Amino acid sequence: MTTNTETANTETTAGAPEIRVRDLHKSFGDNEVLRGIDLEIRQGEVVCVIGPSGSGKSTLLRCVNLLEEPTQGQVFVGGTEITDPDVDIDAVRRRIGMVFQQFNLFPHLTVTENLTLPQRRVLKRDKAEAARVAAENLQRVGLAEKATAYPSSLSGGQQQRVAIARALAMGPEVMLFDEPTSALDPELVGDVLAVMRMLANDGMTMMVVTHEMTFAREVADRVVFMDGGVIVEEGAPAQVIGAPRHERTRHFLSRLLDPATAEVGETPERMDKAGR
């Protein structure tokens, strides 16, 4: 158990995790969505968070950059406690890239302008430098030829890749992905996942909420299965996806990987009676 003397505003221990979550709780009114989460993600590690809808996955991700304020607990990013009331959260967020389910691009701006605007406003880069960085990251996600296009002329997969390039243009140390392919047609998913694989190969620290089991199996260093606001089990993909220890994990994966096996009226509550 961690003592108060170990929870200073900044941790300086060599090799400290890039992300550390301690006893994290989050309630919305009487609904306790997160019930004591402990999680560490080290530099360069890719961690995929899986689980049923309503399990708290996206809430956990949003607490990591304080888009949701925890009810209780601590979150450290790069050694800095972002849940400290005195922290400069804007400075910490500059180190964190976030990619959402929806693309959140400005429809009246070109692709390049969507990438340069946050650089100029937040990082105070001049126009030329922001344009150079934008071009580099569009090249990185395979969309250099779309620099002058408007979002409405792009496919959903292309728009999501622009959103990733926009996050990368800010120079983040950590990337958070909240089900980045859930709004895409199936044939468009592959290009987005290919970009994420590229980032993983480049050593980017990544926390990914996803239902893409192939990606989790092939790219993740660890898989975390959540249900009911807690971590049910975590480990290497071969263990959690290939040979899960818990009945709840097995049920979830069987329904996800083979939906035809589900019974009419089957609910998570009924499945939980089998034991977790």
- For 208-248, the pLDDT digits (tens) are 999 999 999 999 999 999 999 999 999 999 999 999 999 99
Instruction: pLDDT band for 87, please (50, 70, 90 cuts).
Output: very high
Spatial separation of the C-alpha atoms in residues 180 and 168, rounded to whole Å: 15
Percent of the chain clearing pLDDT 70 (strictly above): 87
Query: Residue 268's pLDDT is what?
Result: 46
Given pLDDT bands bounded at 50, 70 and 90, which one contains residue 116? very high
Integer Cα distance of 240 and 245 in angstroms: 7
pLDDT at 18: 93
Query: What are the C-alpha distances in Å from 141 to residues 32, 137, 198?
Result: 38, 6, 9
* Distance set, CA 152 to CA 81, 106, 144 (Å): 39, 10, 17
> For residue 31, how far is the Cα from the chain centroid?
23
Residue 177, beta-bridge partner list? 99, 208
Report the alpha-carbon distance of residue 258 to residue 103 in Å, rounded: 29
Identify the three-state secondary structure at position 75: strand
- Whether the Cβ atoms of residue 45 and residue 221 lie closer than 8 Å to each other: yes
Q: Over range 165-192, report the average pLDDT.
A: 92
pLDDT of amino acid 93:
87
pLDDT for position 265: 53
Specify the range with the lowest mean pLDDT, choosing from 13-22, 31-40, 70-79, 203-212.
13-22
Whether pLDDT at 186 is above 60: yes
pLDDT at 262: 54
Please give the distance of CA 2 from its chain centroid, rounded to a whole number.
Answer: 26
Report the C-alpha gap between 209 and 100 in whole angstroms. Answer: 10
Q: Report CA 241 to chain centroid distance, whole Å.
A: 19
* Cβ atoms within 10 Å, residue 267: 8
Task: Decide: 48 and 223 in contact? Cβ < 8 Å.
Answer: yes
Q: Please, what is the end-to-end C-alpha distance for the chain in angstroms?
A: 25
- Distance between CA atoms of 150 and 256, rounded to whole angstroms? 35
